[in-house]
Structure 1
Amino acid sequence: MDRGGAMEAAVFHNAKEDEHMDAQTFAAGKMKMIQPQSMKDPKLDKLKEVLLDWINTSLKAEHIVVQSVEEDLYDGLVLHHLLARLAGVHLTLEEMALTPSAQIHKLEAVLEELDKSLDQQDTKWDVSLIHKKDLLATLHLLVAMVTRFQPEVELPSDVKVQVVVLEVSRTGIRSDVQTEVLTEASGLNSQEVSNRRDNNDPMEDLLKMEADKVKQAVLDFVNKTMASVGLQVLDLDKQFSDGVILLLLIGQLEGFFIPLSDFSLTPHSHEDMLRNVSLALNLLADLGLQVSAVQAQDVVSQDVAATLKVLYALFRKHGGGCKQEVEGKASCDHSCHS
């Protein structure tokens, strides 16, 4: 829809004066700009605050502190570290990209890998937008990352902004005001997250019961299995976070040996632990044991629910998975105790 001269003139003037919006970009055809009124929306401020806290929590061990989602992601450094920590993808790139060309090169490599992991049909960001500190594109990217890698993070629901869409042609400038959805009204980020938290997930059902009873049943199963190799688990919350006992447990239960060259037996860094747990989750997937909504970072960060989900998948398959036994509601058949 065409908008009148005063509005177009104001938007055109603002676009020309934006230090990140050069003439070549403006002439490229189409762009989006968040309207000033939407920038004052408390729900948008809350979304930015939650995303900022999520980034800083994720990267705390690496002593990276981000102060602004608008200003601090353009050079690729933060996204590079998030990619490694959350997706377990380690790219050989320079730590600090100081020139614009180096920053763009780094962003291209990082976003290519992120897009593979996010697997979205219609991305609302690209290298150019992120490098130019486009807030709308940056928010879309971060929300997608939270949804994919850590869906348990509660983002503010129903966050929308009004945007001016400018389209430049030979005959002039067309502008339209549209509503852009950043998070869904349901409070979930997408239908995919809803599916991941489906009520039919056995571990979700178990976690509604007494936590101590569930943990004790799984702990007994683990220690019975690991007794043959002289290992004992006393703290289920912490002892699986580096992935070592988890990998040994999988090997014992499935009857195969995992070469020491494939994982770190004495992990010293967060990256070592993340690689170990990622390998364990990949092995479970190869064995047909799908663990819903669990990422390697969840286990490494000692997320109890995530760790229990992983262990319960093995618990159910290998003779310890009698749900009645865990609940204490009925006796189990012989197979549950073999």
Structure 2
Amino acid sequence: MELALGVCFEENREPEDLEILQGETRTIIQPASLKDPKLEKLKEVLVGWINTSLKREHIVVQSLEEDVYDGLVLHHLLGQLSGVHLPVEEIAVTGAAQIRKLEVILEALDQSLGLPETAARKWSVKLIHTRDLLATLHLLVAMVRRFQPDLALMPDVSVEVVLVEVNKSGIRSVKQVEHITESRDLADNSSGVPKKEDPIDELMKLDSHKINTVIQAILHFVNTQVSPLGLHVTDVEKQFADGVILLLLLGQLEGYFVPLCEYHLSPTTKSEMLHNVILALDLLNDRELQVSNVDPQDIVSQDLQATLKVLYVLFKKHKNR
């Protein structure tokens, strides 16, 4: 009997409770790592990215472990992001049908990703189908890097894992750290060319009264734009956290209307707020307004520095309006 890794640790079983086939090696996330806030934030961003990408197809993902394993989501993502449409059945009900579908999809995905063989070993048909969270995360992160590199993923996400191998001599286990996303420095400077520090990062090193002066200038700019809509902003962190005013501000500045069906006008959950913020950052990227080192979840979490970075990009472009 083989147990799905994700299911195993949702039940908080220890590694020795796993039943693994002889000659097989399994990589098991330690239960404590599953509670890491960085890992949780990465999962939230990936769920938001999938739901934004597949909104037109009315596909909603709530759990990476439970909603990706059967190939339906991966099939639609591949079609939306790369234009590759595969002749596979839309809904595979049986396990055997799901595995056949995943074989076709992952082969096409590996070709589209153009990754070396060692990278592709981080996931497989078997691992994805058994709801292996680590393999699913590795695959989705690789897809983001390939198809939407401007999406800000949580950097420095790693988990402690146990490699468990069963052989004729018994069970051998080794602990190690598995990196899911690279460090911020590597992500932002893979070319090796030094980059100038972001103006907001520099600002936050100054005295509080200087920071407040800049905030007041940005608030004045924002309110000048949104006052015709009957809006007034007094709190940068809180009032932009749900993404609504940010989307309305973008529309005012860039001269377009974001259809109400594309976002949540009165969001009540963090998932809805995250959807709005991701959409706003995507619109910024479409306008080639690059925002450095901003995780959508940071804005939802009312991070002042992240919110100022987004607003400063708009202020810099439109301050003379």
- The TM-score normalised by the length of structure 1 is 0.53
SS in 2 for 1:98: coil
1:130-183 per-residue CA deviation (whole Å, 9 max, x = no partner) reads 000000000000010111110111111100100000111110111000000011
Question: Which of 157, 160, 163 is the matching residue for 2:158?
Answer: 160
Question: Which of 36, 47, 54 is the matching residue for 1:52?
Answer: 47
For the 8 Å contact 2:43–2:64, the answer to whether it is kept is yes
CA distance in structure 1 between the partners assigned to 2:108 and 2:285 by the alignment: 28
For the 8 Å contact 1:75–1:107, the answer to whether it is kept is yes
For the 8 Å contact 1:157–1:188, the answer to whether it is kept is no
CA distance in structure 1 between the partners assigned to 2:40 and 2:162 by the alignment: 19
CA distance in structure 2 between the partners assigned to 1:65 and 1:98 by the alignment: 18
Q: CA distance change for structure 1 residues 237 and 51 in 2, over 3 Å: closer, same or farther?
A: farther
1:18-69 per-residue CA deviation (whole Å, 9 max, x = no partner) reads xxxxx5xx32421100001101111110110111100001101110000100
**1:114 aligns to 2:109 (yes or no):** yes
CA distance in structure 1 between the partners assigned to 2:164 and 2:178 by the alignment: 14
Q: Please identify the structure whose Cα radius of gyration is greater.
A: 1
For the 8 Å contact 1:158–1:187, the answer to whether it is kept is no
For the 8 Å contact 2:23–2:167, the answer to whether it is kept is no
Question: Which of 68, 83, 98 is the matching residue for 1:73?
Answer: 68
Match of 1:149 in 2: 147
How far has the Cα of 1:306 moved from its partner? 4.6
Matches within 5 A, 1:186-197: 186=184, 189=187, 194-195=190-191
1:76-135 per-residue CA deviation (whole Å, 9 max, x = no partner) reads 000000000011101111110001111011101111111011111112000000000000
**1:12 aligns to 2:7 (yes or no):** no
Matches within 5 A, 1:1-338: 10-13=14-17, 15-16=18-19, 23=20, 26-121=21-116, 122=118, 123=120, 124-186=122-184, 189=187, 194-195=190-191, 303=283, 305-306=285-286
Root mean square deviation of aligned Cα? 3.3
For the 8 Å contact 1:30–1:165, the answer to whether it is kept is yes
CA distance in structure 1 between the partners assigned to 2:178 and 2:56 by the alignment: 34
CA distance in structure 2 between the partners assigned to 1:12 and 1:173 by the alignment: 9
CA distance in structure 1 between the partners assigned to 2:188 and 2:99 by the alignment: 30
SS in 1 for 2:86: coil
Q: CA distance change for structure 1 residues 45 and 84 in 2, over 3 Å: closer, same or farther?
A: same
CA distance in structure 2 between the partners assigned to 1:45 and 1:117 by the alignment: 27
Q: CA distance change for structure 1 residues 95 and 133 in 2, over 3 Å: closer, same or farther?
A: same
Q: CA distance change for structure 1 residues 170 and 144 in 2, over 3 Å: closer, same or farther?
A: same
CA distance in structure 2 between the partners assigned to 1:162 and 1:186 by the alignment: 19
Counterpart AA for 1:148: R
Q: CA distance change for structure 1 residues 37 and 93 in 2, over 3 Å: closer, same or farther?
A: same
Counterpart AA for 2:22: A
Task: Count matched residues.
Answer: 197
For the 8 Å contact 1:28–1:168, the answer to whether it is kept is yes
Q: CA distance change for structure 1 residues 132 and 190 in 2, over 3 Å: closer, same or farther?
A: farther
- The TM-score normalised by the length of structure 2 is 0.55
How far has the Cα of 1:187 moved from its partner? 6.0
For the 8 Å contact 1:76–1:103, the answer to whether it is kept is yes
For the 8 Å contact 2:155–2:181, the answer to whether it is kept is yes
